Amino acid sequence: METVLSSGRFNSLLLAILFYTFSMPGLMAQVNTIPFDSAHWEFMDAVAVEYMGRSALQGSAILKNRTLSDGVVEFDMAVTGQRSYPGILFRITTDDSYERIYIRPHLPVTFQNVIQYVSTFNDIDSWQLYNGQGYTASAAITRNEWFHVKLEFKGGQARLFLNNDQRPALEVPNLGHGAGNGKIGLSGPADGSAFFSNFSCREDKSLVFQPPVMQEVPFGIVTEWELSSVIKASSINNEIHPAKQGLTDLQWKMATCRPDGIVDISRYYPRSGNSPDVILARTTLTSDQEESKLFSFGYSDLISIFLNGELVFIGNSSYMSRDPSFQGIVGLNDYINLPLKKGKNELLLMVTESFGGWGFMFRDCSAIYLDSGVARAWEIRNGFRYPESAEYDSKRGVVYVSNYYLDAGGSISKLRPDGTLAEAEWVKGVFQPSGLCLSGDRLYTVGRQSLVEIDPDRGTILNRYPFPGPGLPNDVCASDNGELYITDSFKGCIYRLKEGKMEIWLESPELARVNAILYDHGRILAGTSADGCVRIIDPETKNISLLACIGSGSIIDGLVPDGQGNYLVGDFNGKVYRVTPAGEKKLLINTTAAGISLAAFCYIPKTGLLVAPTLYDNRVITFRFNPAGQKTGK
């Protein structure tokens, strides 16, 4: 008997089939899966096993006769939670050159290196040289059950997804080997603590990534070095200059740092064996005078520093050397004051590697970048307590500076544009004041609980306007009609004070960690530190659009007109950019190497003076710009 299904019954059956197909974990991945057998895989230490009801791979293996340049790799993984480092290798060109992403399933979700990216050169796994955004990430790894992993890579970028999440668990904006083509592999322990199943891969040229961000070498980094050939650590004394040990006939090659400032020695030399190796690195520091200059540096694993032939430092930054939790991550975490002579100085490093990465970085802590037409002016080092914001009063010819404190109290200072401090505590009684602005011949400052109105002639508090359920009120600006707009960085919202009434005026996910705010020519500009961008808000429609992005990690704290139709945008970390109305940006000031923060500054277009509070080191620093038609003065 032939059974005929009605259209409705057929559609219901089809929907049921689709539901069960897509709801069963890992089933769809089986459509184009590649079996774990010797015909498809080159087993390193791997074996094909049955695990949790599936055909699985235990150990490490390389996929045969298949390469990918831009593509997608998917598989399921199961881990027991024991210490292990299972993951994926891609763009394998030789046995010792590839990209790798792996997980640490034994770490809790609170750790920031549960997921790890490493670019391998000369078979050295340099995980200590890859840390932070773009290299490591936190993740919740389930145990004793299958979870899905998907890797996408194109050009010089890659991203990893876990459990079919739409948001990447890790994004790698700059792959160490750049764009390329190579084999695919799975890397896992052979001890039964991690398993792979349902593996598939495909070339995919249609992948879409955000345009790669050009990574700038941090200002002040010593970029150019010469590296010697490899020396066994057992054959050299790390307390004596190499020349005094008879090591004068060495072969040297030029080397430079990565965009993040690290010199990765593995890009130039392989290890000579399992026992520790040493590399010598040298450069020349030129000084106009005899001086002591502070440098920050990082290294892995041990280092000896010689200046002009004399030993000045020995350190150990190897894994677990300082305490059981010490990772030995390379960063600018150590400091040394080098006594430079006038002229050329030879800086020589003796860097020893035993495990986890071979590299170093050096930075001049006094280096400050100033674009042409920008010069240092005066600064005041005393009289402030965490100065946070500055506002220029053209009517009275003074600059107001809010003192945030970190304990009870708070005050407003008053100084003159010639660099003299008029009154250190001109106004008291404001709890942790931050943003400042003038409107209607009144000065307003943002306190933790309320907006405070001040009479600038008498220096007295006139009114307090409480915020509704404040998180972290931050900055304030005034519109042409006297309405005041205040940002709240914790709540991601903007308050409005209109006719004496305070209200939440705008909330939006696009205002995450909103900080600096400016009213200019009928529109509001706001800096969002969650993504380091400046956004434009239409006060009438509340529509939000993007003006420019300074960069991830930027804290947009300064935002003022430059008097010529552009904006000066400040990153609290120590950078000031000029941004055009079209969103084009140019770096003007960089004080990051010197460790000088630039908080919410003000700018006086008539004299080209930028006045920047520095918050933590209790000073106000200024820079003189050279606007068109003006001469640069002090």
User: In whole angstroms, what is the distance from residue 199 CA to residue 66 CA?
Assistant: 13
Distance of CA 526 to the CA centre of its chain: 21
Average pLDDT over residues 227-234: 96
Quick: pLDDT tens for 453-466: 999 999 999 999 99
pLDDT band at 552 (very low <50, low <70, confident <90, very high): confident
* CATH code linked to domain 17-203: 2.60.120.560
Picking from 81, 80, 85, 75, the residue whose alpha carbon sits closest to that of residue 55 is 75
- Relative to beta strand 575-579, strand 567-571 is antiparallel
pLDDT band at 213 (very low <50, low <70, confident <90, very high): confident
Picking from 54, 72, 345, 352, the residue whose alpha carbon sits closest to that of residue 184 is 72
Q: For every residue of 299-352, which 3-state class applies, written as one string? A: EECEEEEEECCEEEEEEECCCCCCCCCCCCCCCCCEEEEEEECCEEEEEEEEEE
User: In whole angstroms, what is the distance from residue 119 CA to residue 115 CA?
Assistant: 14
Residue 502 pLDDT exceeds 60: yes
Higher pLDDT: 296 or 7? It is 296
3 state SS of 169: coil
- Relative to beta strand 157-162, strand 473-478 is unpaired
Region label for 557, one of left (φ > 0), alpha (ψ between -120 and 50) or beta (otherwise): alpha
Quick: pLDDT tens for 357-398: 999 999 999 999 999 999 999 999 988 999 999 999 999 999
Two tokens at 166?
Answer: 């739409």
Average pLDDT over residues 285-292: 96
Contact by Cβ (8 Å): 535, 544:
yes
Q: Provide φ and ψ at 606, rounded to 5°.
A: -60, -40
Which helix (H) or strand (E) segment holds residue 573: the answer is none
Picking from 278, 265, 174, 263, the residue whose alpha carbon sits closest to that of residue 221 is 263
Residue 77 pLDDT exceeds 70: yes
What pLDDT is stored for residue 14 in this prediction?
32
Average pLDDT over residues 142-157: 97
Quick: pLDDT tens for 504-528: 999 999 999 999 999 999 999 999 9
pLDDT band at 8 (very low <50, low <70, confident <90, very high): very low
Domain boundaries, the chain: 17-203, 224-364, 369-625
Residue 490 pLDDT exceeds 50: yes
Residue 489 pLDDT exceeds 60: yes
Quick: pLDDT tens for 599-618: 999 999 999 999 999 999 99
**Distance between first and last Cα of the chain:** 101
pLDDT band at 249 (very low <50, low <70, confident <90, very high): confident
Range in 17-31, 320-334, 610-624 the model is least confident about: 17-31
Mean pLDDT of the chain: 92
β-pair partners for 25: none
Range in 151-155, 211-215, 476-480, 532-536 the model is least confident about: 211-215
Average pLDDT over residues 433-452: 97
Which helix (H) or strand (E) segment holds residue 461: the answer is strand 460-466
Distance of CA 158 to the CA centre of its chain: 17
Q: Which ranges of 478-585 does DSSP label H, i.e. alpha helix?
A: none
Residue 85 pLDDT exceeds 60: yes
Residue 35 pLDDT exceeds 80: yes
What pLDDT is stored for residue 210 in this prediction?
87
Q: What percent of the chain has pLDDT over 90?
A: 90
What pLDDT is stored for residue 22 in this prediction?
37
Q: Which ranges of 143-218 does DSSP label H, i.e. alpha helix?
A: none
Q: Which residues contact 306 (CB under 8 A, 6 or more apart)?
A: 241, 312, 346, 347, 348, 349, 350
Higher pLDDT: 106 or 15? It is 106
What pLDDT is stored for residue 216 in this prediction?
81
What pLDDT is stored for residue 248 in this prediction?
85
pTM of this prediction? 0.81
Quick: pLDDT tens for 173-186: 999 999 999 999 99
CATH topology for 369-625 is Neuraminidase (2.120.10)
CATH topology for 224-364 is Jelly Rolls (2.60.120)
Q: What percent of the chain has pLDDT over 70?
A: 94
- Judge if 17-203 and 369-625 fold alike in CATH terms: no
What pLDDT is stored for residue 632 in this prediction?
38
User: In whole angstroms, what is the distance from residue 412 CA to residue 426 CA?
Assistant: 6
What pLDDT is stored for residue 18 in this prediction?
34
Sheet strands (E) in 136-181: 136-137, 147-154, 157-162, 170-172
Helices (H) then strands (E): counts for the chain: 1, 50
User: In whole angstroms, what is the distance from residue 133 CA to residue 197 CA?
Assistant: 29
- Relative to beta strand 501-507, strand 514-520 is unpaired
Quick: pLDDT tens for 465-484: 999 999 999 999 999 999 99
Residue 590 pLDDT exceeds 90: yes
3 state SS of 425: strand
Higher pLDDT: 9 or 396? It is 396
